[in-house]
């Protein structure tokens, strides 16, 4: 049996396949329908005018290219890990690791963004402490994800049905509401360039649907369910977003929308009064929480896959005996998410999410092209149509979006790449050598502290304003620190390999 086959069996034995077509589709829609569309539509409309409808349609088509790649790879390689697993089979080595690294980090940032976003939406009704509420949200959905994948999937279905129902009420209300005078005229204040800018800006609202591919090891009949769920969720998202954009610009002009912090709530208030504003605010909260649920599931599965290959500690592979979930992977990833959520900084978290996901999209499309050449006989229950046009279009459009990203975000991305290089190098050199290195650092600190103590004692270094008794205390304190560090250094260096 091939290594891949063995791993596949391992996944099958350890994670339960409990998600059907409905669960999987809702997972995809829930992953994408985040708070973004509720707050970002205004600025996008100010860039593209009423052509925001076409910008959203264009985003959906670009997303569809990459979703075709996800569907093919998801069915051909039905193992946990999503993009990371695809890149591992296609490229292996550092490319696979960096794909998994960005996938893990971007899902953590995304989860933190959703938690902070939901806290801000709650604060619209009740004055709450934002970081504390965000952390509470993370804890709540961590518990749901530990409890079981089916529970997480069922929670997603309930939230998505409620959310789609609220959006349906908004859309219906929008159609019944009389259009403003020039609503049906296509306006593009920034021309075609403005529409492209809006496309790059609002593309984030489609991110997250690939959670289906990440949770593929837990999907029933993956060969049939994964492509159907991915395509279905991609099409539903295009329809929902396009109609929402149409109804919104039909009721309120793009110029006015661009001035509002919560454009959809404002439009709902114009259409249905106070009830509409409350309805859409609740919908925004549900959207943020459902994305939080999905991203917590996705990040833990990536951590699980990275542990499986030895990049992360093996302890994260542990499956809960009763619930059948990788509970340690869920908890560890959620601790980082909680720490990020505690900052309450939305911009930083949002930018990092964008960068990570777009890099991931490009690598998935490249993995598809590579695998078609490297393993032409690999069993593919679903094949991306119009190959090689679709994956090439996916790469080109993803890179195009990357070009529109803020320079500060690109710098952050470079920093995260350096961090990944360090992590990969540490994993490659092995535990023993890293430990010896840290032993050497401890010895160095110990020696330096001892020298400092000696110089203070002999009066070579005089600390301004410090009295003699305190200098003696400082001397003994530094000697004590030095002893501890020298001992720790020796113990680490002399440890057995």
Partner 1 sequence: MQGAMGALAVIFAYVLYHNFFNLQDVLNVTAGNLSLYILFLLIFGLLSIISGLFLIYE
Min dist CB 313 to partner 1, Å, is: 10
Q: Which residues pair with 219 in a beta bridge?
A: 19
Q: Running DSSP on this structure, what letter comes out for residue 1?
A: -
Based on CB atoms, which residue is closest to partner 1, 126 or 497? 497
Reported in sequence order, the residue ranges of 190-246 that DSSP labels E, i.e. its strands, are: none
Based on CB atoms, which residue is closest to partner 1, 59 or 453? 453
Cβ-based neighbours of 136, under 8 Å, separated by 6 or more = none
Nearest Cα to Cα of residue 110 among 204, 1, 20? 204
Nearest Cα to Cα of residue 427 among 133, 160, 93? 93
| Positions that interact with partner 1 (CB under 8 A) | 435, 438-439, 441-442, 445, 464-465, 481, 484-485, 488-489, 491-492, 495
Based on CB atoms, which residue is closest to partner 1, 411 or 483? 483
Based on CB atoms, which residue is closest to partner 1, 9 or 462? 462
Nearest Cα to Cα of residue 80 among 229, 300, 296, 301? 301
Based on CB atoms, which residue is closest to partner 1, 317 or 405? 317
Min dist CB 477 to partner 1, Å, is: 11
Based on CB atoms, which residue is closest to partner 1, 192 or 487? 487
Alpha carbon of residue 222 to chain centroid: 23
Min dist CB 484 to partner 1, Å, is: 5
Based on CB atoms, which residue is closest to partner 1, 130 or 264? 130
Based on CB atoms, which residue is closest to partner 1, 310 or 465? 465
Based on CB atoms, which residue is closest to partner 1, 172 or 335? 335
Based on CB atoms, which residue is closest to partner 1, 383 or 435? 435
Min dist CB 493 to partner 1, Å, is: 11
Helix ranges restricted to H, 77-92: 83-90
Q: Are 55 and 63 in contact (CB under 8 A)?
A: no
DSSP one-letter string for 117-130: HHHHHHHHHS---H
DSSP one-letter string for 119-183: HHHHHHHS---HHHHHHHHHHHHHHHHHH-HHHHHHHHHHHHHHHHHHHHHHHHHHHHSPPPTTT
Helix ranges restricted to H, 376-430: 389-403, 407-429
Min dist CB 473 to partner 1, Å, is: 16
Tracing tokens 């793009």 back to the chain, one arrives at 254
Residues 100 and 108: their CA atoms lie apart, in Å, by 12
In this structure, the chain runs to a length of 497
Q: Are 217 and 80 in contact (CB under 8 A)?
A: yes
Nearest Cα to Cα of residue 107 among 248, 253, 277, 299? 299
Cβ-based neighbours of 316, under 8 Å, separated by 6 or more = 303, 304, 306, 307, 326, 328, 329, 332
Question: What is the rounded (10 degree) CA torsion for 227, 104, 414, 344?
Answer: 110
Min dist CB 420 to partner 1, Å, is: 18
């Amino acid at each position: 049996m091939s290594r891949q086959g063995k791993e596949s069996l391992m996944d099958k034995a350890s994670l339960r396949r409990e998600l059907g077509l409905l669960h999987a589709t809702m997972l995809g829609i829930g992953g994408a329908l985040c708070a973004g569309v509720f707050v970002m539509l205004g600025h996008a409309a100010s860039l593209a005018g009423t052509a925001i409808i076409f910008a959203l349609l264009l985003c959906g088509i670009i997303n569809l290219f990459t979703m075709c790649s996800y569907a093919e790879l998801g069915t051909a390689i039905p193992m946990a890990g999503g993009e990371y697993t695809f890149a591992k089979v296609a490229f292996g080595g550092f490319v696979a690791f960096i794909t998994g690294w960005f996938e893990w980090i971007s899902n953590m940032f995304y989860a933190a963004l959703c938690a902070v976003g939901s806290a801000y939406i709650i604060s619209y009704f009740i004055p709450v402490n934002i970081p504390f509420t965000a952390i509470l949200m993370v804890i709540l959905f961590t518990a749901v994800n530990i409890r079981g994948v089916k529970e997480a999937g069922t929670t997603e279905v309930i939230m998505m049905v409620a959310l789609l129902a609220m959006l349906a009420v908004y859309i219906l209300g929008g159609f019944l509401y009389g259009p403003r005078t020039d609503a049906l005229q296509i306006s593009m204040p920034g021309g075609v360039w403005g529409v492209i800018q809006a496309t790059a800006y609002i593309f984030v609202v489609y991110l997250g649907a690939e959670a289906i591919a990440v949770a593929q090891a837990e999907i029933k009949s993956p060969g049939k369910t994964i492509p159907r769920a991915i395509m279905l969720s991609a099409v539903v998202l295009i329809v929902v977003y396009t109609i929402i954009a149409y109804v919104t610009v039909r009721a309120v002009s793009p110029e006015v929308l661009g001035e509002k912090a919560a454009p959809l709530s404002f439009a709902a208030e114009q259409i249905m009064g106070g009830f509409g504003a409350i309805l859409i605010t609740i919908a925004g909260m549900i959207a943020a929480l459902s994305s939080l649920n999905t991203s917590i599931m996705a990040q833990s599965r990536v951590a699980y896959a990275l542990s499986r290959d030895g990049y992360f500690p093996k302890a994260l592979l542990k499956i809960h005996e009763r619930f059948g979930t990788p509970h340690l992977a869920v908890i560890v990833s959620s601790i980082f998410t909680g720490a990020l959520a505690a900052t309450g900084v939305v911009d930083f978290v949002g930018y990092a999410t964008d960068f990570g996901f777009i890099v991931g999209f490009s690598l998935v499309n490249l993995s598809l092209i590579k695998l078609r050449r490297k393993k032409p006989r690999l069993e593919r229950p679903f094949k991306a149509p119009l190959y090689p046009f679709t994956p090439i279009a996916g790469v080109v459009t993803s890179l195009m979006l990357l070009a529109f990203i803020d320079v500060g975000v690109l710098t952050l991305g470079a920093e995260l790449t350096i961090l990944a290089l360090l992590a990969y190098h540490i994993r490659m050199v092995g535990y023993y050598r890293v430990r010896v290195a840290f032993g050497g650092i401890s010895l160095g600190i110990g020696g330096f502290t001892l020298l400092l103590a000696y110089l203070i004692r002999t009066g070579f270094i005089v600390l301004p304003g410090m009295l003699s008794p305190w200098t003696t205390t400082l001397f003994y304190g530094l000697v004590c620190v030095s002893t501890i560090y020298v001992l720790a250094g020796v113990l680490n260096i002399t440890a057995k390999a």
